[in-house]
Every structure is written in structure tokens, then in C-alpha cells.
Structure 1
Amino acid sequence: MGKSERYLARIDGRLLRALSHPLRVRILELLREDGPATASGLAKRVGESSGTTSWHLRQLAECGLITDDAERGSRRDRWWKAVHEGDQMQAADFIDDPDLAGLFNAYAHTLIERRYAAEAQFVAEVRDWADEWIDKVNFHDSSLSLTPDETAALSDEILEVIGRYRRPEQDGDTQVRVHWAAFPRRSRPEHP
């Protein structure tokens, strides 16, 4: 298994079906960001019953996105952990398949909503961060004129840089969210 395969789940149709439910995306996000948890612990955090979170955890486990945490728990207290740190997918894998196009759309919208929520939470807490972080945080938004091949090359380079920084957590680390997207935009028609 290569380094990126260990860290990133390549989304296929089977995984997309599992991730088409927003609560499953949220549960997986919590396991990836905050570490192992129980169904009851997750239920409190997402405002659902432990029966509901248990069912969604089993769905995520069936497709290999999460697994039992063998270092924690007992027969009564089952702990779950994420297998990968993130996902990678391409729209081209789904948009021509009538069974998957709607699921892709639902999952992509959920991801965008989760990204917005994470950034909005940071902005709400910005004054709470130590001075050592304030000048290191970056929100970047650019419009470039590129060909499809140039856009793919740019994405590959960005993901390569992100991959160079991927490593096991060490003392003194703080979790940092990194979002990357590159997509075309229709130009607005000129108004007379």
C-alpha cells in the first residue's frame, strides 16, 4: 500500500453510496479529526440517538472506512476509528452513471457544507488562537485562466505538496485543515 493510499480513501461507487448520507460524513469527519469514539459518544456530539449512530457506524465499517479500535473498549463499549485521514475522488468517475450522479451531487454538497462549517468555526474562534498562529493562517481564493490540462497539473502539484507534509502526529502538533479545489467557472456575459 502506497503512502497516499494509506492516508486517503479513493472514493468509488460503493464508498459513495455509504457517504451519501450527511450524518455518515459528519461521523467519519469526527473520527478522523478527533480520534476513536463510541456510538454513544458520537451520538451526543451529533444530536442523535446511539442506535442511529451505531447503525451508521456499521455502514461505514462495512465499506472499510472505519474499523474497531482494538486498543480501546470492551464487549459492551465498542470503539471505532477511521481507517484513512481523508478522501479523494473525481467527478468524472460518477457523473455519467445515472445511479451515482445524484449520490455524487449529495456527497459533494455535504463536503462543501462541512468545509464552510469548519472555516466559519475558525473565524468565530480566531481571537482564541495564540499569536503564533494568527499570522500563519491563510485563506486564499484566486481566479486563473487555465486549460483543463493545466488545471489538472496544478491540482497534482498542490496534492504532492500536501503529501510531503503528511506524517504521523508528533508532540507539539496542532491539527490543520487543508482544503483544495480547482474547478471551472462560466464567465458572466458582458452587459451593454
Structure 2
Amino acid sequence: MDDRSITPSPQQLRALTHPVRLRMLGLLRAEGPSTATALAARLGLNTGATSYHLRQLATHGFIHDDPSLGTGRERWWRAVHASTRTGWEPPHPAPADKEALDAYLQSVVVVYTQMLQQMVEERATLSQEWRTASTVSDWRCRLDPEQARRLIEQVGQVIEAFVAAEERPESDPEAAPYAILFHGFPRPGGAREGSA
């Protein structure tokens, strides 16, 4: 991958408002280059739909084809970035930009929900060590917006530092790909605009 992360424009975000595209991009980032045929089989899609979504991701700069791979009969696709960052929302976003961010986040939640469901379904096949090294937890507290932003930043820094210092090589038989999903938000109905 060329860069660690991308902060997409609102136009680029619109390309990620489809959960299938997010899953494809996630697979290319996590597992490396692939073809439309292989991704179609993995995602239970037809190759025509898969090719269309791959072209959309390429048009918006998230992936590119890698002619150094394969025999030339089939295009191989590679992720350009390791992650997508949306940054903080501007104070007065244009309505169309706000809609793009909200639609993107809706797709992210769909993909995360699918991943969590799959984790629960596969949990019985994990060793005791991995079952106790996994969690689906929540904490509840009362914070103001500044405290919430600091919490998000600090947790992000801890995760980033841990990943940079502790990542195990693919050849390590005890290591496995590990997902960290961190969510922080006002409880639904708890902090609506104008309620403070």
C-alpha cells in the first residue's frame, strides 16, 4: 500500500456508501491483492457486479489495478491505503457533504454489524485462549463534547502505538489477524441538539 491512510473528500465518501464496496476495500486491505472473480466468490456476488464496484473504488482513488500480478487475462486489484479516516466534521458542512458522511457511516455500521455477527458465529471454533482474548463490551459515563473528543483521541493513540510496536509477523504461528472496533457516541436520545 502506498499510504497509511486517506481522508476522502465528500465526493470520494459517496463511493463508499455501499456496504459491498466497503467489504471489498476491507478485504483488499486485510488480505492483499485479488481479482474480481475471487472477490465475487468470497462475497457471494456475480463477477459483473463485483467488477462494477471495483471500478467505482478505482475511479475514486481507493484501489488500483496491479499489472505485475496475474497472467493478463484477469485484472488484479490492490488497495492504495491501509485505512480511511473521516476526521472531525466541519462546524457548518454543506447539506450534501453532511449527507455523504452520514450515508458512509451508515454503511460502516452495516459492515461492522456483519463482522460482529460473524465473530459470534465463529466463536465456538476458537481456542480458549482466543475466546478470552476477545471482548464485546460497553462502558457508560457522562462526558461533555471536549472530554469525548479527548477520550477518542487518547484511545486511538493507544491503539496506534500498540499496533506499531507489537504487530507480529505473518510467520508467527501464535498470531492471527485481530480486529479492534472502537465506538464512542452519545447514547441515542441522550444528547440531541438543543437539549443541553
TM-score by length of 2: 0.83
The code of the aligned residue for 2:122 comes to E
After TM superposition, give the deviation of residue 80 of structure 1 in Å: 0.9
Q: Does 1:23 align with 2:16?
A: no
**What SS does structure 2 have at the residue aligned with 1:72?**
coil
How far off is 1:183 after superposition?
1.4
**Which residue of 1 is the match for residue 158 of structure 2?**
161
**Post-superposition offset of 1:85:** 2.4
Higher relative contact order (CA 8 A, sep 6+): 2
User: How many matched pairs?
Assistant: 184
Please say if 1:122 is aligned against 2:119: yes
Equivalent residue number for residue 100 of structure 2 = 103
Match of 1:80 in 2: 77
RMSD of the TM alignment (CA)? 2.3
* Structure 2 residue aligned with 1:179: 181
Structure-2 change in CA distance of 1:19 and 1:94 (3 Å): farther
Map residues 63-78 of structure 1 onto 2, 5 A cutoff: 63-78=60-75
> Is the alpha carbon distance of 1:22 and 1:81 closer, same or farther for their aligned partners in structure 2, counting shifts above 3 Å?
same
Which residue of 1 is the match for residue 52 of structure 2?
55
| Cα separation, partners in 2 of 1:145 and 1:25, compared to 1, 3 Å | same
One-letter code of the match for 1:139? V
CA separation of 1:25 and 1:44: change in aligned 2, threshold 3 A: same
Percentage of identical aligned residues = 32
How far the C-alpha of 1:150 sits from its partner, in A, is 0.9
Letter in 2 for 1:187: G
Q: 1:137 to 1:27 in 2, by over 3 A?
A: same
Structure 1 runs not aligned, ≥5 long: none
Q: Sort the Cα spacing of 1:95 and 1:182 in 2 relative to 1 into closer, same or farther, 3 A.
A: farther
- TM-fit CA distance, 1:116: 1.2
Q: Could you tell me how far 1:9 is from its partner in structure 2?
A: 2.0
